[in-house]
Amino acid sequence: MKHPVRTRFLAVSFFTATLPLLYPQDTPAVPATSPSPELPAALKNLEGLWVGTALHQSESAEIAYEFGLYKGKLLAKEWLPKLHVFGAPVGYVAEKATGFTIPGLDLDFSIEDDHLIGEFGLTELPIRLERSNRALPTETVPPASESIPKIAWSYQAPGGIWANPVAAGSTVVVGDSGGHLQALDGTNGQRRWLFDAQSPLHGEPAVAGDAVYFLADNGRLFKVTLSSGKLIWKADLGGGGKRSLPGSPDGWDYSSAGPVVADGKIYIGGGDGTFHALDAENGKEIWKFKAGDKVRATALVTGNRVFFGSFDHYIYGLDRETGKQVWRFDTGSAVNTAPVLAEHKIVVGTRRMAARPGLFFIGCLG
C-alpha cells in the first residue's frame, strides 16, 4: 500500500477502498428510507441507496453507497464488490458549499438531475450513481475449519483501529480513528473505560506504571491513568493537520508516532517534523529538535541516544539529554518505520518511492 498509484483502475480503486475496511463493521443496518427529522434537509435528501459505477478510462466497476441516520449523523456505507467491500462504514457525511463530502474517504459529491456525481479527491476517480432499492451483494463467508483457532473474545471499537494495541497485565489499551482510547479486560474483552480525545488516534499508546501516554492527530499528547482513564495532563505539541492518501505528493500518511517513555521522559515526533522530549510527570517540554519533514514512526531510545526517522529521508541520532544532533543519515526515501536495534546497529525500513528503498543497517554509536 505504499507503492505509487498505477494508472489502471483496479490499482486506484484498491487504495480508495482500503479505508472503509478499517472502520467499524457492526453498525446497524441503514434502512433505505428511514425517517430522520434530526437531519438538515440537504442531508436528508441523500438518505437511501445509490448504485452506479466508478470509471477510469475504458474500465468501470460497480460501486454503491447507502446513507442513513446513525447517532444523529448521516452515516455512509460503501459497496465495491470487485475489491470485496460489502457495506463497510466509511464515515459521516458533511455539507460543503458545492455539495457534500465524506472527509475520512476524501470523497466529494453532489446531486445533479437526481444522480449522485462525485470523485475521490486525490485520485480524481469519477463516480456516478442513481437511487435504487435493489438488494446488494454480500460477502461470502468461508467454510469453518477445525484448524482455525477459536476466538476467545472480540470487541467492536467505535472507530477503525490503525495501530497496535498495548497489553499491560490484564489490561489491553487501544486507540481508534474516532478519537477514543479504550481499556479492555484482557480475559473477556469487556471495556473498562473509554477516553474521548476528540481527534483521531493513529498511533500506538505507551504504558508506564499506572499511566497511559498517547498522541492524537490534532497534535495533543495525553496522559491518563491506566486504572480508570482519568486525564492527568495534556500537552499541545502542534503538528496537527490533514492526513494524505496514496496518490498525493506525500503518499500514504495514516500512521502516527507513538510515545517512548524512558527514565522519566517522553520522546515523540509529530506531523510538523518536530521531535520532542517532555517530562513524563507533568508534560513540560525539556527540549525539541526540528527535522525537515513529518515524523510518523516511533523512536528508538538506547543508552544516551534517541533515534528516529522522518519523511525528509533522514535517520537522526540525538543526544537524549540535550536534543543536540549527533549524526544523521540520508536513506534517499521517506522513513515511516520505527528503527530497531540489532547487534549495535540500527535497522530501519524506508518507502519504495525513491531511489534507495529497502532496509538499512546503520551504526548507532558516535
Can you tell me the mean pLDDT for 101-126? Answer: 79
Report whether 246 contacts 15 (CB < 8 A).
yes
Same domain, 121 and 189: no
Order of strands, sheet of 265-269, starting from the edge strand that comes earlier in the sequence = 260-262, 265-269, 274-279, 285-290
Cα radius of gyration (the chain):
22
| Model pLDDT, residue 113 | 87
Which of 132, 164, 192 finishes a domain?
132
Q: Which of 111-125, 140-154, 235-249 has the lowest mean pLDDT?
A: 235-249
Which of 108, 132, 156 finishes a domain?
132
Structural domain includes residue 102: yes
Same domain, 183 and 34: no
Collapsing DSSP to helix, strand or coil, 155 comes out as: coil
**What whole-number distance in Å separates Cα of residue 351 and Cα of residue 336?**
7
Angstrom CA distances, 259 to 19, 153, 287, stand at 25, 28, 15
Assign 244 a pLDDT band (cuts: 50, 70, 90). Answer: low
Residues 30-36: contacts with CB within 8 Å, 24+ apart?
30/66, 30/67, 30/68, 30/69, 30/70, 30/75, 30/77, 31/68, 32/66, 32/68, 32/133, 34/68, 34/69, 36/68, 36/69, 36/74
Distance of CA 173 to the CA centre of its chain: 16
Assign 316 a pLDDT band (cuts: 50, 70, 90). Answer: very high
Structural domain includes residue 22: yes
Domain range enclosing 76: 9-132
Percent of the chain scoring above 90 in pLDDT: 46
Same domain, 244 and 335: yes
Can you tell me the mean pLDDT for 226-237? Answer: 96
Structural domain includes residue 103: yes
| Model pLDDT, residue 203 | 92
Same domain, 249 and 353: yes
Contacts of 284 (CB under 8 A, 6+ apart): 235, 278
Same domain, 197 and 81: no
| Model pLDDT, residue 243 | 65
Report whether 125 contacts 56 (CB < 8 A).
yes
Domain CATH for 116: 2.40.128
Same domain, 257 and 350: yes
Same domain, 192 and 335: yes
Which residue in this structure is represented by grid cell 479527491? 121
Structural domain includes residue 117: yes
Same domain, 217 and 275: yes
Spatial CA neighbour of 265 closest among 284, 289, 252: 284
Which of 132, 164, 194 finishes a domain?
132
Assign 125 a pLDDT band (cuts: 50, 70, 90). Answer: confident
Number of domains in the chain: 2
| pLDDT, averaged across the chain | 81
| Model pLDDT, residue 304 | 94
> What digits encode the pLDDT tens for the residues 165-175?
999 999 999 99
Structural domain includes residue 165: no
Angstrom CA distances, 200 to 219, 247, 303, 343, stand at 10, 22, 33, 36
Same domain, 267 and 341: yes
Structural domain includes residue 137: no
Same domain, 243 and 323: yes
**What whole-number distance in Å separates Cα of residue 234 and Cα of residue 196?**
13
Q: Which of 20-34, 192-206, 216-230, 305-319 has the lowest mean pLDDT?
A: 20-34
Q: Which of 69-73, 227-231, 321-325 has the lowest mean pLDDT?
A: 69-73
| Model pLDDT, residue 104 | 66
Q: Which of 85-94, 101-110, 352-361 has the lowest mean pLDDT?
A: 352-361
**Exposure string (b/e) for 330-357, b if CB count within 10 Å is 16 or more?**
ebebbbbbbbeeeeeebbbbbbeeeeee
Which grid cell is 170?
490484564
Task: Select the more confidently predicted residue: 206 or 24.
Answer: 206
> What digits encode the pLDDT tens for the residues 271-288?
899 999 999 999 999 999
Spatial CA neighbour of 333 closest among 244, 251, 242: 251
Structural domain includes residue 159: no
| Model pLDDT, residue 3 | 36
Domain CATH for 343: 2.130.10.10
Assign 62 a pLDDT band (cuts: 50, 70, 90). Answer: confident
> What digits encode the pLDDT tens for the residues 5-51?
332 222 233 333 333 333 333 444 444 444 445 788 888 889 999 99
Can you tell me the mean pLDDT for 325-334? Answer: 90
> Residue 237 above 90 pLDDT?
yes
Same domain, 185 and 302: yes
| Model pLDDT, residue 219 | 92
Q: How far apart are the first and last CA of the chain?
A: 35
| Model pLDDT, residue 144 | 73
Which residue in this structure is represented by grid cell 459529491? 109
Structural domain includes residue 168: no
Residue ranges of the alpha helices (H) in the chain?
Answer: 9-18, 41-44
Can you tell me the mean pLDDT for 194-218? Answer: 94
Same domain, 206 and 86: no
Beta-strand ranges (E) seen in 202-313 are 206-208, 211-215, 220-225, 231-236, 260-262, 265-269, 274-279, 285-290, 300-302, 305-309
| Model pLDDT, residue 123 | 56
**What whole-number distance in Å separates Cα of residue 88 and Cα of residue 320?**
44
> Residue 348 above 90 pLDDT?
no
**What whole-number distance in Å separates Cα of residue 240 and Cα of residue 219?**
4
